[in-house]
Amino acid sequence: MAHIGIKIKELRKKKDMTQEKLAEYLNVSFQAVSKWETGAASPDLSMIVPLARLLDVTTDELFGVDSNEELLRQEKLKEIYYETWKTGDIEKRYKISKTAVEEYPGNLEYLKWLADAEGSFGIHCNELGSKEQIEHFERSVFYFEKIIEDSTDSHLKESAIRGIVFALSDLGRRDEALQYARQHPDRDELLKYCLKGEDLKKHRQTLIFRKLADLLGELETDHYNFETIRLAEKILKLVIDDENYLWFHETLMFNYILQAQCLTKQKQYTEAISILRKSYEHAVLYDKIFMAAKETPIPYTASVFNKISFDANEIVKSGTATMTESFREFLLWKSFDPIRDSKDFQSLSNL
């Protein structure tokens, strides 16, 4: 079998892999690999198939295994693995993940299976804080580190970073988890698993703030759906129950513009103009608060946001207009033509 050593060396170099790395994946010493390649020794028969898979060749070149069997075997492993996500069988998932990694060393997708499975098995199948649970979490971290180090697939690497954040947090190694979280595109979502105390409270409030803004924006997407626009107003007032709206004065200003547009379409002209006055009031308040918040951040006082402040210097503006100037521009919308000639509407235009 001396020719196998020559082939191993050729294929290893083709993959730009060191003897040490190949040995690590096969769980043997690099001296053993060196002996294979010089012909001083031969791989054990049980190593032939894993070795061929690691080097991305068919075993025909090493020992004669049908390549079609390889494809069928991988399909079967994936079928069993993904079925466990439907059945919730964590123990079976752990077992099939270990089998996949043993049979296909160097396959980072399968290693990701095992890294995830170690964490899940540690959480659900071990006593909290037990030695066994900690060992599962530590193995999970170890496997994720290998994926992050070796993978060239950005999606797989990002998934591994997310996984290692959870595993390190489970181990109480929050500072390390924090470093990884900052490398991920969804860093803000991951940070909540790394922070603690007041920092965590402030971060969670920041996330709630952003999600609230996104929700209100989605509800207002259909400018003529009066019910969802009103719902956005109700949600905002329910969350900020002390009326210290700060940045959300802009949200209310625009919300009332949309409500007035709907009311005008419904020919409820008096109600539309009344709502427009509310819109103007919030525009004025926003401009006043904005100028003050450029000098010193103003804290929110509603309980859901009592750890964060409105800092006008952090606002990204799409133009130079003030909110009251924007209000007047909205009044030029064609949808307000039916009430444009009324004295009450014209008085708003002249504010």
Task: Please report whether residue 81 resides in a domain.
Answer: no
> From start to end of the chain, where are the E strands?
298-299, 309-310
Task: Please report whether residue 118 resides in a domain.
Answer: yes
Asked if residue 282 and residue 145 are part of one domain, the reply reads no
Which residues, given as ranges, of the chain have pLDDT below 70?
A: 1-3, 62-67
Asked if residue 267 and residue 130 are part of one domain, the reply reads no
What is the pLDDT, as a whole number, of residue 1? Answer: 41
What is the domain range of residue 248? Answer: 203-349
Task: Please report whether residue 339 resides in a domain.
Answer: yes
Asked if residue 321 and residue 261 are part of one domain, the reply reads yes
Pair 180, 165: CB distance under 8 Å: yes
Three-state DSSP state, 7:
helix
The secondary structure of residue 46, as a DSSP letter, is G
Asked if residue 328 and residue 232 are part of one domain, the reply reads yes
Asked if residue 212 and residue 344 are part of one domain, the reply reads yes
Q: What is the distance between the alpha carbons of residues 188 and 177, in angstroms, rounded to a whole number?
A: 13
Q: What is the distance between the alpha carbons of residues 286 and 295, in angstroms, rounded to a whole number?
A: 15
Residue 281: other Cβ atoms inside 10 A: 15
Q: What is the distance between the alpha carbons of residues 113 and 97, in angstroms, rounded to a whole number?
A: 6
Q: Which residues of 111-131 are buried (b: 16+ CB within 10 A; e: fewer)?
A: bbbbbbbbbbbbeeebeeeee
Express each pLDDT in 115-139 by its tens digit: 999 999 999 999 999 999 999 999 9
| Torsion angle, alpha carbons of 263, 267, 273, 278, to 10 | -10
Task: Please report whether residue 308 resides in a domain.
Answer: yes
Question: pTM of the predicted model, to two decimals?
Answer: 0.73
What is the pLDDT, as a whole number, of residue 60? Answer: 72
Residue 105 tokens, joined: 């060393």
* Angle, in degrees to the nearest 10, between helices 90-103 and 108-124: 150
Asked if residue 210 and residue 267 are part of one domain, the reply reads yes
Q: Which residues of 290-300 are buried (b: 16+ CB within 10 A; e: fewer)?
A: beebeeeebeb
Domain count of the fold of the chain: 3
Task: Please report whether residue 85 resides in a domain.
Answer: no
Pair 345, 339: CB distance under 8 Å: yes
Q: CA angle 89-119-111, nearest 5°?
A: 90
Task: Please report whether residue 73 resides in a domain.
Answer: no
Task: Please report whether residue 70 resides in a domain.
Answer: no
113, 51, 111, 61: which is closest to 82 by C-alpha?
Answer: 113
Sequence-distant (6+) residues with CB within 8 A of 125 are 90, 91, 94
Half-sphere exposure of 124 (CA within 13 A, CB side): 13
What is the pLDDT, as a whole number, of residue 253? Answer: 98
- Token pair 């020919």: residue: 267
What is the pLDDT, as a whole number, of residue 67? Answer: 65
SS3 letters across 238-251: HHCCCCCCCCHHHH
Task: Please report whether residue 71 resides in a domain.
Answer: no
Sign of the torsion formed by the C-alpha atoms of 127, 128, 130 and 135: positive
Pair 310, 293: CB distance under 8 Å: yes
| CATH for 127 | 1.25.40
Asked if residue 312 and residue 220 are part of one domain, the reply reads yes
Find residue 310's DSSP bridge partners.
298
